[in-house]
Amino acid sequence: MFKKILIANRGEIALRVIRTCKEMGIKTVAVYSQADVNAMHVRMADESVCIGPAESSKSYLSIPSIISACEITGSEAVHPGYGFLSENASFAEILGDHGIKFIGPSVSHINTMGDKINAKTQMEAFNVPCVPGSNGEVKDIDDAYISAKKIGFPVLLKAAAGGGGIGMKIVQGIDQLETLFLQAKSEAKKSFNDDTIYMEKYLEKPRHIEIQVFGDGKGKAVHLGERDCSLQRRHQKVLEETPSPGVNPREIKNIGKICANAISRMKYEGAGTIEFLYENNEFFFIEMNTRLQVEHPITEAVFGIDLVKEQICVAYGIDMSLSQEHLEPKGHAIECRINAEKLPNFSPSPGNIKEFHSPGGIGIRMDSAIYNGFRVPPYYDSLIGKLIVHADSRSMALGRLSRALDELIIDGVYTTVDLFKDILDQADFKNGDYNIHWLEQWLSDQVK
């Protein structure tokens, strides 16, 4: 087994990886920016290395700095967490050139799935159902008119290298097409230095369903059910649950089998997530994430496994312990992403944590790296914690979540805790009757 792993990340995910490594007897190395000198992941790791100033581009995104930290500490492998360099093929390749194992999929798989056009082509070849769309890149406005006419309005313009809704435009009619096409290309160029745009049919009221997959890199692969990620604001997930309250379990088993087959044929290594829109009893592939997801703890809860441990073991070359016939989910799990943001505008709220009390009890997990006196820096994502609950049924999980939210105390910064308390009171959510547009519509109604 690896003797020492460097975690190329910060915050709760770095701490989460460190915990698994400690349980496995593996030494850990934390990297940190000058803004994170007092961060919990730095305190918990066996060693730590400062890799630059507060700006991400000069620290957590600095490949030379992280490679240097690996060499200084003698780290044999790197776990990238999520975000930052987790889906950066160049980073994985450079690590390999230095004899350091990247805990994740191969460079070729990161490259293929990182480009949404190539990913869709690959999935179509594996008989994974896809959203009707353009035949690859929409090169110019004339091409856009041809594709839109074939697909039928409304259509969705998307950046091939994109994510988080950047470069994404909903086009309701032909009169909007040219303006929004040019806007999408401009946003994509500015954010990703790649203005490649493709087009898909815009689904009116879908759910966002993702399938957790795992492969050993040799052809053995499994799926670990679904996560319903339909509660979103500006294309960013807010709350996730498993199983989905809006999809028949038989349909999940069927699409899961299709996904596992695709991963097997790819000879994919490690954890990945295949994401779909689901409408009118049909699944439509939208993208694949070649990394651990923020919401992975709810899958761990219902299956009783440690996905990070599985990642590390497979990366080292140990045979995958997961087998489909033994993977049976139990109960229901929900995750709330707790952000340091001020409602109702969701503006970032950096500052000092004056008081923090984590909820406890049966079926409660709080993944967070904050503590009393910790300063939430203004330089990074506003996620400061994830509250995860697990219970025998959805109704029990909702009751447990309500109790845990009441018990959670975070004082000194504004948070989104009250948002979740309000959501839990809504009949639509209680009944599981929501789609990817529900949350934004409900939020809009609150300010009228």
The CATH class for the domain spanning 132-201 reads alpha beta
How is the chain split into domains, by residue range?
A: 4-103, 132-201, 207-446
Give the span between the Cα atoms of 270 and 292, in whole angstroms. 9
Pick from 274, 177, 184, 294: which is nearest to 222 by CA?
274
Q: What is the pTM of this model?
A: 0.91
DSSP conformation class of 176 = H
pLDDT of the residue at 448: 64
User: Are the beta carbons of 439 and 232 closer than 8 angstroms?
Assistant: yes
Neighbour tally for 344: CB within 10 Å: 10
User: Are the beta carbons of 83 and 164 closer than 8 angstroms?
Assistant: no
The CATH class for the domain spanning 4-103 reads alpha beta
Q: Which residues pair with 336 in a beta bridge?
A: 239, 387
Q: Which residues pair with 213 in a beta bridge?
A: 223, 272
Divide the 448 residues of the chain into consecutive groups of 10 and give the mean pLDDT of each group: 98 98 98 97 98 97 98 98 96 97 97 90 94 90 93 93 83 94 93 92 94 97 98 95 97 98 97 96 94 98 98 96 95 98 96 97 98 96 97 98 98 98 97 96 85
Token reading at 443: 């939020």
pLDDT of the residue at 162: 75
Token reading at 328: 């049976």
pLDDT of the residue at 165: 79
pLDDT of the residue at 131: 87
- So which residues are the catalytic ones? 291
pLDDT of the residue at 430: 97
User: Which CATH code of 3.30.390.30, 3.40.50.720, 3.40.50.2300, 3.30.470.20 fits the domain covering 207-446?
Assistant: 3.30.470.20
